[in-house]
Amino acid sequence: MSESYKNEMQILDLMFENRETECLRFIGHQIITVEDLVHKELTLAGLMIAISAAILPSLSSFPLFARWLFLLATLCVMTSALINGFLTFKISWLTTPPPDWKDGSLRLMRERALRIRDKKTAAHHWAIGFLITGIVLYFIPVLLVLLGVGKA
């Protein structure tokens, strides 16, 4: 268990003195916050993929370098959507007891809830990185076309 994880457990102990049910609810709200952000990201990714489909007929007029950037942008956006779809939205019930749960302690449930939250948050960070990269890569080809780069 890392030092920051231990510190967080201590903070939660102070915030929710022997009120583990409220603590689990609090962590559940944090998970919902991450999932709400992911919903917005998936909406943006969907819009970008729809725009990509609309641009496809005119893509052949783009310079070769711009087409490659456009392809990379689409791959980044799709990677972001896949990460979010398979990792962030993976259903993990907070009420499912951990394998080592023998004594009925809600503290172990809290630790499991924190692990779920942290995994979803880490996946979200990777996904947002790919999404932002994809957005930047989308705009470079558009700028190249607007500036007339690659035209004879």
* Every domain of the chain and the residues it spans: 3-147
CB 101 within 8 A of CB 108: yes
Give the distance, in angstroms, between the CA of residue 49 and the centroid of all CA atoms in the same chain. Answer: 17
Hey, is 1 helix, strand or coil?
A: coil
Q: Which phi and psi (to 5°) does residue 19 adopt?
A: -120, 65
How far apart are the two ends of the chain, measured CA to CA in Å?
61
Residues 6+ apart with CB under 8 A from 55: 70
Report field, pTM of the whole predicted structure over 0.85? no
152 pLDDT exceeds 60? no
Residue 41 parent element (H or E): helix 20-55
Q: 12-21, 51-60, 124-133 — which one is most confidently predicted on average?
A: 124-133
Query: What rounded mean pLDDT belongs to the chain?
Result: 87
Q: Could you report the per-residue pLDDT of 38-95, keeping only the tens digit for each?
A: 999 999 999 988 988 888 888 888 888 888 999 999 999 999 999 999 998 888 887 7
pLDDT per position as a tens digit, 131-141: 999 999 998 88
- Residue 112 burial by CB count (10 A; 0-12/13-18/19+): exposed, middle or buried? buried
The whole-angstrom separation of Cα 44 and Cα 42 is 5
